[in-house]
Amino acid sequence: MNERVGKMTKKEKAKKEKAKKAEKIEEKKENASKAEKKVQEKGEQKEKKLKKKLTEHTSFKNLEKKKTKKRQPVWVKKFTLEYEEGLNRLQIELLKWQKHVIANDERVLMLFEGRDAAGKGGTIKRVIEHMNPRGARVVALLKPSDRERTQWYFQRYIQQLPSGGEIVLFDRSWYNRAMVEPTMGFCTDEENKRFLKDTPMLEAMLVKNGIILFKFFFSVSKEEQLRRFDSRETDPLKQYKISPVDREAQERWDDYTIRKFVMLNETNRTITPWTIIRSDNKKKARLNCIKYILSKVEYTDKVSEEELQVDPEIVVSGIDEIRFMEDHLMTAGAELPG
Amino acid sequence: MPIKVMIKRKWQVENPEELYPLVAELRAAAKEQPGFISGETLRSLDDPEDFLVISIWETAEDWKKWIQNKKRRDLQGKVDSMIGERTFYEMFETVSME
């Protein structure tokens, strides 16, 4: 009996141990799922936080609204309010200008160039946001097709030039052949050199034919570019902007700088000048870019010159950028603008 | 053998009264340089904003020394800023066609 009891006890012990093990496994599983849940919750919170981001213009629009049972106050930066107010005023001016462009059959072409994540797309979006879509369009061409590759390099861009009454914004342009293509090895040295020689002549033809041409180069610092790449990876709303060559843009930063210098040097002309927009602060870059555009065109009921005065820290002429880069390109340790 | 330098400039400026003295100073400084022979300014009949300066130097080396001169670079920089583009130079030598 005792023996039996003893045997039973052994069995029981084994059972107990088995049960304990199972319990531990269960506990581990539970902990893992709890941790997973936590991560998920955190992610959701992050997503929720992103969703809560106020849409542009919201804070300014609601500035004068009073507290009611259905309304609650939200804290925003003063600069955000200033920005939204300024943007609103400038967008009204852009619309007045567009009316003039349409009425006079003018043709406007704006080229937006710059490194990845420099803020070109965001500025284009604000320029075009409230314009009449019938007279304004954005051109962002994909890499050339096999058929296009057999054509004259400028051909596919020429097809997109503005007709009378149109404002066309190029989100990257023929200048791909000046920076991205040679840096990434997508064109030969000969093709790059040919391009730099031909472009001033082509642009002079466009301007002499009556096209109003703006050439913007958005200049971002290396640190800010990295910050924006990181943000693209974490922000679900910016995922579409991620490109496999993003990291290469950082690794080949200095190559791009030299290409930029050569490009400015060869293609900055009095009648087709470059305008550099310092874009580490996106909002300031957008406002100043729009101010610059408006300050250079004529239209009825235009605001005063003072209101369109650009910040010289943000807007730099192509020739001044060339001079600055020329003076510092060979200086060891000198930080050149991006 | 003397060399001829073609300097192309576009004079499309808002305030020419500020530009003229700078160009005059540039020319006066060039005249003092060793190897400088002469300079002549021509205006395009097709486009009155286009100017061409023909600068003649004893040797290419003389011209190169002048182009690297700090004072010239500073003055040139100011001129370029006002004109809005860099000045383009091309060196030529006389060839006998006989």
Q: What is the pLDDT of residue A245?
A: 77
Which CATH number goes with the domain that contains B39? Answer: 3.30.70.100
Give me the pLDDT at residue B9, please: 85
A81: left (phi over 0), alpha (psi -120 to 50) or beta: alpha
- For A316-336, the pLDDT digits (tens) are 999 999 999 988 887 777 788
- B71 domain residue, yes or no: yes
* Residue A95: closest CA among A56, A122, A135, A55: A135
Distances, alpha carbon A279 to alpha carbons A91, A233, A314, B43, in Å: 19, 20, 7, 40
Is A273 close to B85, i.e. CB distance below 8 A?
Answer: yes
The size of the A-B interface in CB pairs under 8 A is 32
- B45: confidence class by pLDDT, cuts 50, 70, 90: very high
Kindly report whether the global pTM for this prediction surpasses the value 0.95: no
> Which CATH number do you get for residue A90?
3.40.50.300
The answer to whether the beta carbons of residues A114 and A220 sit under 8 Å apart is: yes
In a domain, B50, yes or no: yes
Q: Domain span at residue B60?
A: 3-93
Interface of A with B (CB under 8 A): 265, 268-271, 273, 317-320, 322-323
In a domain, A55, yes or no: no
In chain B, the residue whose alpha carbon lies closest to the alpha carbon of A322 is B86
Is A37 contained in some domain? no
Residues from B contacting A (CB-CB < 8 Å) are: 10, 12, 77, 80-81, 83-86
Mean confidence (pLDDT) of chain A: 89
Q: Per the CB < 8 Å rule, is A270 touching B12?
A: yes
Q: For testing the chain B interface, which of A207, A323, A324, A329 should be mutated: the one with the most B CBs within 10 Å?
A: A323
Q: What mean pLDDT comes out for the span B82-96?
A: 90
**Within a domain: B98:** no
Q: Cα–Cα–Cα angle for A116, A120, A125, nearest 5°?
A: 135
Q: Among A32-46, A113-127, A238-252, B72-86, which range has the highest average pLDDT?
A: A113-127
Is B55 contained in some domain?
Answer: yes
Among the residue ranges A90-99, A255-264, B88-97, the one predicted with the least confidence is B88-97
Given this model, what pLDDT does residue A42 score?
A: 58
The per-residue DSSP string of B2-41 comes to -EEEEEEEE---S-HHHHHHHHHHHHHHHHTSTTEEEEEE
Residue A113 lies in a domain: yes
Å from B81 to nearest chain A CA? 6
pLDDT at A47 over 70: no
Residue B26 lies in a domain: yes
CB burial string A196-227: b at 16+ within 10 A, e below: bebbbebbeebeeeebbbbbbbbbbbbebbbe
Please give the pLDDT value at position A158.
98
Number of domains comprising chain A: 1
What is the band of A66 on the pLDDT scale with cuts at 50, 70, 90?
confident
Mean pLDDT for B84-94 is 91
pLDDT at A4: 47
A221 within some domain = yes
> Looking at the predicted structure, is the pLDDT value of residue B16 above 60?
yes
A-chain residue closest to B87, CA distance: A269
The answer to whether the CB of A154 falls within 8 A of the CB of A174 is yes
Q: Does any domain span residue A23?
A: no
The pLDDT, as a whole number, for residue A50 is: 53
Contact A265 B86 (CB under 8 A): yes
Task: Give pLDDT, residue A226.
Answer: 93
Split into its structural domains, chain B has a count of 1
Beta bridge partners of A277: A218, A315
Please report which residue ranges of A62-145 form alpha helices under DSSP H.
78-103, 120-128
Q: Could you read off the pLDDT of A289-298 as tens digits, one per residue?
A: 999 999 999 9
**Residue at B36 is within a domain:** yes
Q: CA A264, A265, A271, A277 torsion: positive or negative?
A: positive
Helices (H), A165-281: 180-184, 189-208, 222-234, 246-251, 253-267
Nearest chain A Cα to B79, which residue? Answer: A319
Q: Is A48 inside a domain boundary?
A: no
B12/A322 Cβ within 8 A = no
Give domain status of residue A232, yes or no.
yes
- Asked if residue A9 is part of any domain, the answer here is no
pLDDT band, very low/low/confident/very high, at A5 (cuts 50, 70, 90): very low
Q: How far is B80 from chain A (nearest CA, A)?
A: 7
